[in-house]
Amino acid sequence: MIALPSIAFGGFSGSAKGVTARYQDGRSILSLKSYPTGETTIAQLAHRTNFSKINKSYKLLSDAQMRAWENLAEHASGQSVFGQKAKLTGANLYLRLNSNRVMAGETMLLDAPQQIAYVPEVEYDSVSVTPQLIVFGGIKHQTAPYKMVVKMSGSQSRGVSNGWSKTVIISSEVEDDWGEADVTALYLKTIGVEPTPGQKVFIECYWLDTSNGFTGQVFRDSVIVTGESSYTPRKRVTMDRLNPDYELHVSSIDVDFSSGGPVVQYDVMCLGHSNIASSEAYLDQDLPEELRGTSWALGRGNGEDGKLVAQSYVMWLYGAYYSTPARITFAHRGGYYVKPTEVFGPGVIY
Amino acid sequence: MNFNSTGNNFGSGSISFKSHQEENYIVLNAKFKYNPASPAYQAADVLEIYVPDLSIERSAIAGVFMRFVDRRDSYGYVWDNSGGTVLKSWVKDKNTLCIEKLTNFDEKGEITIYVLTLYTMLGRGSKPIKGTRTGLQIIQEEQYLYWRSESFFATFDHWVFLNMLFSSCSYTYRGQPWECGIEGFPTDVTADLPFCGGGNQYNPTVDGISEAHIENGVFTCPQRTDGFEDTGHDPFVFAFLVRDN
């Protein structure tokens, strides 16, 4: 982009061939049309298509709608709503907010929001990047309609001190799972290669308010990739932690030991087995001593017969014993036994 | 700590709660009714109860009990087929308690909800705190109620978890009001308890639910639903109870 003192082009605006001239803030600005270089990704194509659609849709707004966007843009300018101070036109603001909305899977806003929305800043305790695991820990949760946008770079030399321009969006809808966000798959899908130990990865995060498209301040971070993760995920038993050598008696399982209080949290679909009113889940790792014991939780029938019977279940949490791996037995106790039954909620452990 | 709800989206009045609130979990006790014919209820997707600030910002899923009353006159005998089930419930934010809307029994009329529930946050620590189990020992002058050996309670400073599994009742007391003391049970707990179990001939998708009560360490149950002692429908009580201390 070239800014000229404007003798030859004063007051001129418009495009001719690959050059566009416009007059702004006492300056005439000439800009050359830019063309994408390199191989275009599907994501880029989708983004450009959305960009074009949103731009065109602005021209279809009523005068009143455009005025409302202009009014809002006047208030938006000068504030760090988007992480940098910028003077915006109504069309600019319309494009920005709606690009964010469309990126989050929402429809376009035709009417301007009543006011500029406050969006909190991303806060987390740690981020661990290894070739196998990329996980944020201790994220300060924000409820819907906020979603976390995560931008990350590929591996850079650890001597690079400013590599945030190399970040790309790996997800615009990260939702933490009780403070954790495992973005490994998203990273690999977007960046294409595992991070390299010893190198540096740059990170940008911000909350996106999907109801209006406003975003919070960009939080910048960088981290050296390590060979092994120092991050300890919270203790849970999930489907991917069951021992594949044993018959499955559950169709889904999430036993969570991270309450920090007097209960274990259950969310398990028990299928039962043989003629025994219980289901067993064998684990691929041992259950630590402090997590073994007996616990009770509620259940509710979930079968095709429509039975919704309230039940109580006892859970026995066993450690490995000789050749038998650690396991959790879900045994029916109260109410009429129904297969399958969803066992859920907190259970005291002793 | 006791508090009243500040509103709800299903057309009920103010709801009184007993609570014990910690940084990472809360125990709530409440009993209230709603009318499924209420336009507010019908418009709601999820039942929401608005409450003053809770100590937790959200919770994992827990369970509350719902009970409908279904009494039928059969040749002069009142056949009690009251029943119900468990509904999912969770703390959505500091000021909103949510309960799953299950419409299967709306035609039964007024529904009673029993919140005898612990709501916990997750991602708060590396291991749960273990409780101490106290096996259920019954105090009766003439023993006529029998409970399964797995029945127990676990007492904490400000709340208690009660798990009762019915075994049998002496024949002569089957139709009588029941009463029994529970040895060592905290005397500062007062609550109505859903007593789940027993067959339900006219509502076969659920079991019966009778109502019991605990106060001053004494368990009472004036009457049971018909089918209470049907084989394979093992009656039970499962409750997190706030202590009045």
The parts of chain A modelled with pLDDT lower than 50 are 1-7, 9, 78-81
Contacts of B231 (CB under 8 A, 6+ apart): none
How far does chain B reach from its first CA to its final CA, in angstroms?
9
State how far the Cα of A313 lies from the Cα of A101, in Å rounded to an integer: 44
Q: What is the pTM of this model?
A: 0.86
d(CA B64, CA B203): 20
pLDDT at site A77 = 61
Residues in chain B with CB shorter than 8 Å from the CB of A309 are: 85, 205-207
Of the candidates A277, A258, A251, which has an alpha carbon nearest to the alpha carbon of residue A333?
A277
The DSSP call for residue A17 is T
CATH number of the domain located at residue range(s) B2-120 in this protein: 2.60.90
What are the start-end ranges of the E strands in A119-232? 126-129, 134-137, 146-152, 168-174, 181-182, 200-209, 219-224
Query: Residue A333 has which token pair?
Result: 């106790």
Q: Is the link from the previous residue into A340 a cis peptide, with omega within 30 of 0?
A: yes
Which contiguous run of DSSP H or E holds residue A49? helix A42-58
Q: How far apart are CA A242 and CA A250, in angstroms?
A: 10
Residue B223 confidence (pLDDT) = 96
Contact B197/A259, CB-based, under 8 Å? no
8 Å CB contact of A309 and B206: yes
Give the model's pLDDT for residue A10.
53
Q: What is the pLDDT of residue A275?
A: 79
Distance from CA of B193 to the nearest CA of A (A): 14
**pLDDT value of position A2:** 47
Q: Which residues of A touch B197 (CB under 8 A)?
A: 334-336
What is the reported pLDDT for B95? 97
- Rounded to a whole number of angstroms, the distance from the CA of A298 to the nearest CA of chain B is 7
B25-71 confidence digits (pLDDT tens): 999 999 999 999 999 999 999 999 999 999 999 999 999 999 999 99
Summarised one tens digit per residue, pLDDT across range A312-327 is 999 999 999 999 999 9
- A90: phi then psi, degrees, rounded to nearest 5: -60, -40
CA nearest neighbour of B220 among B210, B230, B229, B228 = B210
> Which of B206, B228, B233 should be substituted to probe chain A, the one whose Cβ sees the most A Cβ atoms within 10 Å?
B206
For residue A230, with 0-12 CB atoms within 10 Å meaning exposed, 13-18 middle and 19 or more buried, which class applies? exposed
pLDDT of residue A1: 45
CB contacts, 8 Å: A262 with chain B: 25, 128-131, 154, 156
In angstroms, the CA A347 to CA A312 distance is: 10
ipTM of the prediction: 0.97
What pLDDT, on the 0 to 100 scale, is given for residue A36?
65
Domains of chain A: 1-35 (no CATH), 42-116 (no CATH), 127-224 (2.60.40), 236-348 (no CATH)
Give pLDDT, residue B94.
96
Q: How far apart are CA A106 and CA A108, in angstroms?
A: 7
Query: How do the pLDDT tens digits run along chain B, 245 residues long?
Result: 899 999 999 999 999 999 999 999 999 999 999 999 999 999 999 999 999 999 999 999 999 999 999 999 989 999 999 999 999 999 999 999 999 999 999 999 999 999 999 999 999 987 899 999 999 999 999 999 999 999 999 999 999 999 999 999 999 999 999 999 999 999 999 999 999 999 999 999 999 999 999 999 999 999 999 999 999 999 999 999 999 98
Chain A residues in contact with B63 by the CB 8 A cut-off are: 298, 300, 344-345
- pLDDT, position B221: 98
Cβ distance A258 to B86 less than 8 Å, yes or no, reads no
DSSP letters of A217-265? PPEEEEEE--SS----PPPEEEGGGB-TTS---EEEEEEE-TTSSSEEE
Number of other residues whose CB lies within 10 A of the CB of residue B6: 12
Residue from the list A306, A334, A350 with its beta carbon closest to the beta carbon of B205:
A306
Torsion of CA A225, A226, A227, A233, to 10 degrees: -110
Enumerate residues 6+ apart whose C-beta is below 8 A from A240.
none
